[in-house]
Chains A and B, each alone.
Chain A
Amino acid sequence: MPQHSSAFTPSGTLQLGVFFQGVNSGTIWKAAESGSQTDFESFRRIAQTAERGLFAAFFLGEGLRLREHLGRPHALDVVGRPDAQTMLAALASVTTHIGLAATQNTTYNDPADLAHRLSSLDLISGGRAAWNMVTTDNAWTGENFRRGGYLDHADRYVHAEAFVRTAKAIWDSWAPDAIASDGTAGTAGTAGNWPADGAVRRVHHEGQHYTVDYTPRLPRSPQHHPVLFQAGDSPAGRDFAARQADVIFSAHPQFDAAVAFRADIIERTLRAGRPADAVKIMPASEFILAPTSAEAAEKKAWVRELQIGPQQAIAYLEQFWGRQLDGWDPDGPLPDIDPAVEETSETRGSGFHGAKAGELTAQWRQEAAEKGQSILEFVRAKAARSDASFVGSYSEVADTLADYARVGAVDGFNISPWLIPTGLDDIVNHLVPELQERGVYPTQYRGTTLRENLGLAVPDRAAAGEPAIR
């Protein structure tokens, strides 16, 4: 059995989160039971099902620019999504326990404004808000914002960390006794004096990218401040998470990789001066489940077929070839022509972006030929993120997950359902009870705040202090 640092004790339990994806090729829209991606009812249905299954959190992504394909809006995948915090504020009134997590960019938001809005969500939900911190650096996204593209790639975590420290200082600026227990402290009737005199710490930050001079306006929430999720996987991203985050939304769901990632994060967390279990890990994942393993395998084939059709397969290759390939047969071999670009496009947010196109496509051609794969087969295997998939019967997958819990490989999984809005039904109805039988999943919410439900310590206000750069 893999050994972690002796400072770390596995909790022996798992948490689940759901990531309602708005822009992706994983969500099936071609099936008859596929619903709207924008109607509020879709969001309500998923969030309330997740809450019935005692999920810790409901996640929404953030869109800052529509993906493009060969210079036009990409037409083949689900696209178009509501603003995360607006949707979560609405969901706060029809849910009671589930965490509400908004992906929000540190590059195209102002720290004081974003911290205030996240505080608002946290108060409105009774202490259930979370912020999934992401960074962007490209000028292409910046074209939708006043600042434009202004951040060097190398600077993005330096910038993000200053941003987060400023946000934390804002959240920790109201003294615990700023408002009396009846909620009307200070001089009631004159809003400016609502908190007691001197009970609010003003926040100053002067940095390379922004200046903040702000008297925060909101008291702390029942969970003190929003839970922080982080998803970056580079060494700089991991260190950033080890210093600042509560949960890592990781990219390593496979068992051995998960164990190795946990060990790495423990090391970095201890080095950052925090306890070994201060940072929870929840990999992104996909579940394809059925009563028997044979049915699950059949279902997987059906899911992949609907996720990646012939047009999607060609379009997938076009993004790396940088040219139209509409004459190519999806059932034939990969195109034997050279890419029209030197580097692959960044506009689809691909993990391959910046790769040398010529080398990549030659390598793929060889790989597909060796495996005897057609374009369609190759792309289905490549694009489906199969490494993030748990496929099997309810009891098989429950057994697998119990192993993760036992060694503390992860603290839970963040599930991207491939069907909206019914995509969590089988997980909540069948997998969750199996996990509960095995003693590795909660049988009730521990508390009403996300921080309590994730087993996170209450942040130390004194330690937060002032932002780093003055």
Chain B
Amino acid sequence: MSTIDDRTATAARAGFLAIELDGAGWDGTGFGSPDGFASLAEAVLAAESAGFHVATFADSPRAGRVNALQRAAYAGPVTRTIALVPEVDTVYTEPFHVSTQLASLDYVSGGRAGWIATAAEFPETAAAVGRENVSGTALAQEAAASIEVSRRLWDSWEDDAVIRDVATGRYIDADKLHYVDYKTPEGFGAPYSVKGPSIIPRPLQGQLPILAPASIVGTGQVPADAVDAVLVTAPTPELLTAEIRDVRHRLGAAVAIVGELDVVLDARGQAAVERATGPVSGRARYVGSAADLVDFLEPLLAEADGVRLHPASLAVELDELARWVLPELRRRGALRAPVQDGTFRDLLGLPRPASRYAHPSTTAGN
């Protein structure tokens, strides 16, 4: 039987692996073909049975890409252990809707939901919703506001708000529901407020783990304590470890670090270098054999809390990763064991937080 200490100790040595399930991979097209969604279920199940801990779903405005949160939700009922983490924009979306949608994802996945909070400059999205284009430092400001609203709304129902008390006829205890009364700070581009409470009871995890690109987290941007993990990007595999150390130093130990890596493997009789023809992503790109990837990932998983792999072609790389890379990493003790029916917070070693609005009943003497 494992104890909390065992788990903490394991978490300290072994990392987790995430996989980006964007369509057929970054060199392919989206899930637009008639059987596209059967293959989405297949892909997420294949990732889960391969031992990936997290599946992520990209959502930048590009043709053929179905809403990421809905893809994650679709995967919820057919999976058991893999965390499901969509990208959701914070700039041009309604925080109240986003918060409800993410809490709902937590319910349909049994507490395995997370959120990659994105804030990028997309003039076409601004035009689509008739807003001024947001750029520069205002992007992180929008992200910080959206994250803060969601977190407050998730806390707005205390855990035991639904009481179903037949004697008093009360379904909920209204004292355990709270207005969040959020107002954007002074100097905010397009100010707004959100009253609350949430329309949905507190998510199963209490608070969903929130990830954001490291580039928008830190002083004057999204506060480090507003996120649970950051995604770290470097231009080359060689520079990734150094960047991870820098970010860790900058943000402190409380934030988990996830390294970002494009992966092109020798596969099906073709050399990786011949297959590495996709668009430039700006992420470090590993090109080579599965065996060498294991050697590359083992020390990286000791530096970072996790690594997110972006396969060149989902069908091809996922096969190779499942057969050669994950089993060997597990054998070497570099990978954390997936926890059956665990939450995403469990994977990240995060306790389930109390609602910020909850007043412990044992405050006697005050």
The interface of chain A, by Cβ under 8 A from chain B, is 29-30, 38-40, 44, 63-66, 72-83, 85-87, 89-94, 108-110, 112-113, 116-117, 119-121, 123-126, 143-146, 148, 179, 182-184, 188-192, 194-195, 200, 210-215, 217-219, 222, 309-312
Contacts and interface: CB of A to CB of B under 8 A. Distances in A.
Cβ-closest 3 pairs across A and B:
A183-B33, A311-B169, A211-B130
Contacts of A29: 164, 171
A112 B31 CA distance: 20
B219 interface: no
A183 B32 contact: yes
A214 B197 contact: no
B215 interface: no
Contacts of B124: 214-215
15 contacts: A29-B171, A63-B200, A73-B172, A76-B170, A83-B103, A89-B70, A90-B73, A92-B37, A124-B74, A145-B194, A182-B33, A184-B29, A189-B28, A192-B63, A210-B129
A63 B199 contact: yes
Given A87-B73, A188-B28, A75 B171 contact: yes
B108 interface: yes
B267 interface: no
B29 A183 contact: yes
B251 to A, nearest CB: 29
B34 A222 contact: yes
Contacts of A44: 77
A123 B63 contact: no
A146 B192 contact: yes
Interface stretch (B12-20, B88-96, B291-299): B88-96
B252 interface: no
Contacts of A121: 67, 70
Interface in B108-142: 108-110, 124, 127-130
Nearest to A66: B197
Contacts of B34: 183, 222
B66 A87 contact: no
Contacts of B248: none
A116 B73 contact: no
A219 B32 contact: yes
B76 interface: yes
B29 A82 contact: no
A194 B64 contact: yes
B11 interface: no
B96 A64 contact: yes
Contact of A75 (B77, B128, B174, B195): B174
A179 B171 contact: no
A218 B64 contact: yes
Interface string B182-197: 0000000010111111
Contact of A217 (B40, B61, B169, B171): B61
B173 interface: yes
Contact of B201 (A72, A80, A87, A214): A80
Given A75-B171, A183-B32, A188-B29, A82 B103 contact: yes
B104 A92 contact: no
Contacts of B285: none
Nearest to B22: A191
A184 B33 contact: yes
